[in-house]
Structure 1
Amino acid sequence: MNVLDRFRLDGKRLFITGGSRGFGRVIALAAAEAGADIIINGRDPAALAKTADEVRERGREVRTYPGDIADPAFCEALCARVIAEAGPVDILVNNVGGRNLAAKIEETSLDQWQTGVDLNLTHVFLCTKMFGTEMLKRGKGRIINIASISGMIANRGIGGRHYETTKAAVIHFTRATAADWAPRGVTVNAICPGLFMTEPNLVWSKSHPEVIETFVRQVPMGRTGEPDEIGPLAVYLASDASNYVTGASFVIDGGYTLW
């Protein structure tokens, strides 16, 4: 077998949350180019349809499931529906997340805190539990959680500390689940991006340019990341090339956390 063949995903089916934009879209398209069929969830039906067309252009099958997976009740119902309708999911990518609130800790209400926890953490648990249970029955599977370097550091000059807290929890949930499931054929790994100019960050940077400038000055490579730089790492973790990798958190941040 050629070494590049080990990165192929032919015959695999990948489900990704938040798959219509940003990292989700990039990972979906990269996996499709590697041979996987794709199932994508997202809140915007039009954006889902656009990404689905891009998957089809790459010669792969695609299903779309619109809705807000940060809502725990919807998340459980959607997972059950995908399992029933779409067939076995070989690769799960828990991608949805964000810093949807920039308030200081002392100004954050309990409801706002819980919303952030559900957005960044609860759906990771629910999707992992439901799809992972099916993987365990088959004795094989890949789970990739999109965490963040914010789970390892406290960012400068910004509120919304639910984000750092939940991303740290995602990293450790990845490790704990990997330890439990490694003997049963299911690997669980995390990707920890630094600052990438996804659509939300492009919008946010217009109102907080000083935060972006401060961050970039601390990146040894001297720039932000581009979303399509995430795709190859996700394909590696989804493929047979990473057979002996589990419980790992892969930092991809231009060197920011080296200092």
Structure 2
Amino acid sequence: MRLFDLKGRTAFVTGAGSGIGQAIAIGLAEAGADVACFDLPNSSGMAATVEGIQSHGRRALVVEGSVTSPDQLVEAVAKTERALGNLEIAVNCAGIANAQAAEELELGRWQQMLDVNLTGVMLSCQAQAGVMLPRGRGSIINIASMSGLIVNRGLLQAHYNTSKAGVIHLTKSLAMEWAHRGLRVNSISPGYTATPMNTRPEVADQVKIFEDTTPMGRMAEVSEMVGPAIFLSSQAASFCTGVDLIVDGGFVCW
């Protein structure tokens, strides 16, 4: 359908070397976009991301850096525009996760979580909006989490939950600042998802709990985040801004 067609558009995806970011980068290409893939240097999955994009006949560009560096993000966006054309779509997937009891949580670990998951999203949005706002068009999508809305039973991750709650409210705040300037900003909040981190043998018992506590009885596949990203990137979502799209198999309804 033309409403969902991204042909001829340029996208920029952070965290494109693995997991949800990789799936979304390839999915945007399948919908017709050329895609710049941003991740840390030597990301092990980047070759597969590029191959997936090119298999759909679209152009792929690898741009390396950290979402904690504003200069690297600005340069990556500039490289994207030089190589692929005007940036119109950005999906910010880069993030980290770990767990630790709050009373034992070191300041450095707390700060790293916020630096990557929240400040990194803000810096990414700034760099992307820097080229989108002057043209009066564009779509930015930030990957948050249902953990920004609820507290996951049995998981000691106050720092992670706080960072994702911040992403959701940051998204709404930016959406309101930029709505009259033609830039839409939305977020996606995945539930438990079968990313590489959640499919390791040593977390098998925890995965069983994730599946049992999700109404649909399973974790999401990373591919199930692609449709929501395409929707929010496309003309089909032209009147959507400030939305947090929850993709959680019904978890937050309990």
Q: Indicate whether the TM-score tops 0.5.
A: yes
Look up the equivalent residue of 1:37 and give its one-letter code: D
Aligned partner of 1:102 in structure 2 is 99
Displaced runs of 4 or more, over 6 A: none
Show the 5 A alignment for 1:82-121.
82-87=76-81, 88-99=86-97, 101-121=98-118
Look up the equivalent residue of 1:67 and give its one-letter code: G
Q: Distance in 2 between matches of 1:45 and 1:215?
A: 28
Unaligned runs of 5+ in 1: none
Q: Which of residues 234, 239, 244 is equivalent to 1:249?
A: 244
Q: Distance in 1 between matches of 2:75 and 2:56?
A: 26
Contact 1:157 1:211 in 2 (8 A): no
Show the 5 A alignment for 1:1-259.
4-43=1-40, 44-69=42-67, 72-73=68-69, 76-87=70-81, 88-99=86-97, 101-203=98-200, 206-259=201-254
Look up the equivalent residue of 1:146 and give its one-letter code: I
Cα 1:84–1:67 shift into 2, 3 Å: closer
Contact 1:38 1:62 in 2 (8 A): yes
Contact 2:6 2:33 in 1 (8 A): yes
Q: Distance in 2 between matches of 1:22 and 1:62?
A: 17
Q: Distance in 1 between matches of 2:30 and 2:63?
A: 21
Q: Distance in 1 between matches of 2:116 and 2:92?
A: 11
Q: String of CA shifts for 1:179-238, please: whole Å, max 9, x gaps.
A: 1111110000000000010111112xx333333222322211111111111111100100
Deviation at 1:240, TM superposition (A): 0.6
Sequence identity percentage: 37
Name the TM-score, length of structure 1 as normaliser. 0.92
Q: Distance in 2 between matches of 1:61 and 1:162?
A: 37
Cα RMSD of the aligned pairs, angstroms, is: 1.3
Q: Distance in 2 between matches of 1:161 and 1:119?
A: 15
Q: Distance in 1 between matches of 2:92 and 2:71?
A: 16
Q: Distance in 1 between matches of 2:65 and 2:198?
A: 22
Cα 1:90–1:201 shift into 2, 3 Å: same
Deviation at 1:20, TM superposition (A): 1.6
Look up the equivalent residue of 2:172 and give its one-letter code: R
Q: Secondary structure at the match of 1:208?
A: helix
Contact 1:55 1:61 in 2 (8 A): yes
Q: Distance in 2 between matches of 1:59 and 1:207?
A: 38
Q: Distance in 1 between matches of 2:63 and 2:131?
A: 19
Q: Secondary structure at the match of 2:188?
A: strand
Unaligned runs of 5+ in 2: none
Q: Distance in 1 between matches of 2:140 and 2:77?
A: 15
Q: Distance in 1 between matches of 2:103 and 2:55?
A: 49
Q: Distance in 1 between matches of 2:197 and 2:216?
A: 22
Name the TM-score, length of structure 2 as normaliser. 0.94
Q: String of CA shifts for 1:136-190, please: whole Å, max 9, x gaps.
A: 1000010000000000001111223111001000000111111111111000000
